[in-house]
Every structure is written in structure tokens, then in C-alpha cells.
Amino acid sequence: MKSLLAKALVGALFVVSLSVPTANGLEFPTTTRLVNLPISSTGIGANLVSSFSMNLSESAGTPAGASGTSLFYASEMAKVALASKQSELARTSSGAKQVAKQLMLDNLNWGDYQFACLNKLWTKESHWNYQAHNYRSGAHGIAQALPATKMEIIGTDWRTNPVTQILWGLHYIELRYETPCKAWKKFKRSRYY
């Protein structure tokens, strides 16, 4: 009787553990954050303030606050299309480099020299692989965020969206080191940044 009860309990715990998302899992999130990506002289931080969340699990009805005009829908659809295109492009290392270079130029006015430093840094960290995960430290993503949940300030889709990881990495470098070349110098001295 006790062994049957123990087996039932172990089985129930196993089923529950399969349904709980983990930090290492690559589940598709139910929400995503769209970030405005126009040219801005005030940096990524200003764009983050103007970002908004869109719940993907809601029905396709009229969004809250919508004026009902076709202009609203065209604008929102354009943002979704841009975010989707960038996310798909950034799933490869060469595409991630293209997206990062464009975001650096548009949002931070960092040119080719700064991109060369960023390229060296993130090549050492993750080889520009958005699925890179250091099982020893728990660092995750292109920029190797530690802990990985730090990236939630940009978007909750950090496990599956390389653009979220790139935006977080650029934001982190801007706040902590000012430029990618300063972050690269720190990395060369201590093997982390």
C-alpha cells in the first residue's frame, strides 16, 4: 500500500514538474514587448520608456484604447512586422550582428569602431548565439546576462527573442561602461564584463 502511494506521489510530482516553465526552457511566452526603434539621440533607455506590452493570448478584438481607425491598425501592424522580421533575422549570428549594428547606430550613435569592439566581446561570450547558456554560471543569451532574468526589463521573451537580448546587452553596456570598447577593455582584463 505504501509503495503504491509513493509511486502515485512521484508520478504526480513528475507531471507537475513537466508543466512548470524553467529558466533553461525555451517556451514561447504569452507576452512580448514591442520596442519603438526610430532614430533617437537619447539612447535605448528613452525607447524603453516608450515601449509597451501586447498580450498575445488575448482575442483578436479591438485593443484597449484603440480609436478604431485603420491608421492605428496599420501602425501597430508595422511595428509587429518590424519586430518579427528583426527577431527572425537575428536568430543567426550574421543576422544578429546586422540587427545589433543597426540598433547601435539608430539608438546610440555608435559607429563601426564601437561595433568592432562589440563584435569581439559578444563573439567571445556567445558567438552571437541567442540560445547560448553557461550551465556553470547560469549566464544566458548573446550578451550572457547573469542572471538571465535581468533581461526582463526589456521583454519577457528573452529566452526566444534575440532582439530582446541585443537590446538588453546594449542597454547594459551603455549604463555600465558607456561604450562597447570600454566593455571590451574590461573583458580583456578580467575575462568578464
Domain assignment present for residue 177? The answer is yes
Number of CB atoms found within 10 A of residue 120's CB: 16
pLDDT at 27: 45
What average pLDDT score do residues 38-62 get? 42
142-177 pLDDT tens trace: 999 999 999 999 999 999 999 999 999 999 999 999
Residue 31, strand partner residues: 55
The answer as to whether 10 is a domain residue is no
Structurally, the chain folds into a number of domains equal to 1
Q: Report which listed range, 30-44, 46-60, 136-150, is most confident.
A: 136-150
Q: Between 64 and 2, where is the model more confident?
A: 2
- Asked if residue 164 lies in contact with residue 155, where contact means CB atoms within 8 angstroms, the answer is yes
What mean pLDDT do residues 75-80 have? 86
The least confident of 33-42, 72-81, 172-181 is 33-42
Whole-prediction pTM value?
0.64
- Whether residue 16 lies inside any domain: the answer is no
**Does a structural domain hold residue 25?**
no
**184 domain residue, yes or no:** yes
What are the tens digits of pLDDT across the range 113-145? 999 999 999 999 999 999 999 999 999 999 999
Distance CA 120, CA 34 (A): 28
Per-residue model confidence (pLDDT) at position 155: 95
Report if residue 105 sits inside a domain: yes
Read out DSSP for the chain? -HHHHHHHHHHHHHHHHHHS--TT--PPPSEEEE---S--TT-HHHHHHT-EEEETTS-SSPPTT----HHHHHHHHHHHHHHHHHHHHTTSHHHHHHHHHHHIIIII---HHHHHHHHHHHHHHHTT-TT-B-TTT--BTTTTBSSGGGGGGT-TTTTT-HHHHHHHHHHHHHHHTSSHHHHHHHHHHHS--
**Residue 72 pLDDT grade (very low, low, confident, very high; cuts 50, 70, 90):** low
- Mean pLDDT, rounded, of the chain: 78
Q: Is residue 4 part of a domain?
A: no
Whether 11 is covered by a domain: the verdict is no
Q: What would the pLDDT profile of 94-111 be if each residue is shown by its tens digit?
A: 999 999 999 999 999 999
- 147: domain range? 32-55+66-190
Q: How much is the CA Rg of the chain, to the nearest whole Å?
A: 20
Half-sphere exposure for 149 (CA within 13 Å, toward CB): 3
